[in-house]
Amino acid sequence: KPSLPEFHLEDVALHNNKERGVWVTYKDGVYDVTDFLEMHPGGASRLMLAAGGAIDPFWAMYQQHNQEEIRSLLEGYRIGTLAGGQDMSQQVADPYSNEPKRHPALVIRSQKPFNAETPAELLTGKLYTPNDLFYVRNHLPVPAVDPAAYTLRVEGEGLRTIELSLKDLRTKFKRHTISATLQCAGNRRTEMSSLKDIKGTTWASGAIGNAEWSGVNLKDVLEYAGLDDRSETEAGHVQFEGLDSDMEGVCYGASIPIEKAVYKGADVLLAYEMNGRPLSKDHGFPVRVIAPGIVGARNVKWLSRIITSKEESQSHWQQHDYKSFSPNTDYDTVDWESAPAIQEPNVTSAICDPGHNTPVSTCEGTIPVKGFAYSGGGHSVIRVDVSADDGKTWTVAELSSVPAKRSRAWSWTLWQAEVPIPRDHVGSIELICKATDNAYNTQPDSVAGVWNLRGVLNNAWHRVKVQVQE
């Protein structure tokens, strides 16, 4: 753009307020974004963090900006070029340069931050999902943690403040092992976004997995720090903070109601092992929360701090995300305070095998169908029904699951069924599944009634089209 004026970094730095105008630089360009402030999807205050300086470091962290659409939107605000051909992007280190290696079979939904799901056909068949195939949901770069220097701080209402090393956790407390399923609240979001657009990671049905987790019981740690569950405590919540943090140093955080952690038989773990192996970097090394029966988002990885408190976590993810609303509520009308943070997910299921649009042959007049079913809050799955005729007739599936204690069914149920199809049927046919849990909660038939602006908790009947061959 030779016709545009040149500016020095000092000129740009002066434009860091609404009175003078808000300028930013990107690569070698200078932009006046004053009029865009209120339109910034992340809020004006987030964009103000870069006022008078380079946005390159922010875009390196929040790579959802790196899209043609957004770059051309920015170009519309260009007012000049940095003097002397300076390019600020050259000075930015990639915050994602220390990410771990990942299994090539994972289906990547976002590279930075890393979000990837297990291919559906690899989910079924094994009650425990292999660690390297287990879905990964990161909001920020994976933090580097030195296990020798690691400390977990425990503090808050009714507690004395303590710090525990990894060795303390391994030696001062009894080791517990539980089987538990972890599922992202956004699992099966693509079925919602195909109905109406949604901002959010596009997940098919593989943002779920089941593992055997070992570690210490959160209840034991809270009691060690002085929590007395017989006396009235002011604490209503247990907050967790991770070591991963954003540009402002704000870390990932979430909370669970304290009763989930302290009742007799409570199974919330501070886990250091997954399927008998130390936690991997992606899954929260060295210690993460496993809050069984509770949605993935509260199972904080790279755990650094536990706080008992009157209030729930004030984090973005607890307050302004991972909540569901009426299908007609949109971003202009949403009142985040009006809905509770998701804790126990609803009953859901999915067909994993056969996959979408795969050819199937039916010499026996039936199609073998396999999948998973899961319900939050420790509810067990009591039945899965499968249909090949749009729900007119149903076949009851055969279930298999890890044995569980009463009202503590933390693991999913795998199922399989031989579903009869109309004789001599050739061509495309839709398979449907739905699960029912032990509270007799079951799945709604369509996505439309449960659609919500964040695309969470989609538990509509799961449908897969297959091609029946002669």
* Residues carrying an active site annotation: 40, 65, 137, 184, 322
The nearer residue to ligand MTE, 36 or 317, going by C-beta atoms, is 317
Applying CB under 5 A, the residues found at the interface with Mo ion are 137, 184, 296-297
Q: Which of 308, 317, 279 is nearest to 153 (CA)?
A: 308
Name the phi and psi angles at 363, rounded to 5.
Answer: -60, -30
Asked if residue 268 binds ligand MTE (CB under 6 A), the reply is no
Q: Which does 299 bind (CB under 5 to 8 A by kind): Mo ion, ligand MTE, none?
A: ligand MTE
Asked if residue 189 binds ligand MTE (CB under 6 A), the reply is no
Binding piece for ligand MTE, criterion CB under 6 A, among 165-173, 298-306, 355-363, 383-391:
298-306
Name the phi and psi angles at 368, rounded to 5.
Answer: -75, 125
Q: How many CB atoms lie within 10 A of CB 399?
A: 17
What is the spatial distance between Cα 24 and Cα 469, in angstroms, rounded to a whole number? 59
CA 449 to chain centre: 22
Per-residue binding string, ligand MTE, 123-162, x by CB under 6 A, is -----------xxxxxx-----------------------
Asked if residue 302 binds ligand MTE (CB under 6 A), the reply is yes
What is the spatial distance between Cα 444 and Cα 465, in angstroms, rounded to a whole number? 19
Q: Where are the beta strands (DSSP E) in 146-302?
A: 151-156, 162-165, 175-183, 208-217, 237-245, 251-257, 269-274, 277-278, 288-290
Tell me the two tokens of residue 164.
Answer: 């525990």
The nearer residue to ligand MTE, 251 or 382, going by C-beta atoms, is 251
Among 88, 123, 182, 261, binds ligand MTE (CB under 6 A): 182
The nearer residue to Mo ion, 95 or 296, going by C-beta atoms, is 296
Minimum CB separation of residue 339 from ligand MTE in Å reads 17
Total residues binding ligand MTE (CB under 6 A): 19
The nearer residue to ligand MTE, 28 or 244, going by C-beta atoms, is 244
Asked if residue 305 binds ligand MTE (CB under 6 A), the reply is no
Question: Which amino acid is located at 404 in the chain?
Answer: A
CA 308 to chain centre: 23
Instruction: Supply the Cα-derived Rg of the chain in whole angstroms.
Output: 25
For binding to ligand MTE (CB under 6 A), which residues are involved?
A: 134-139, 182, 184, 242, 244, 252, 282-283, 296-297, 299-302
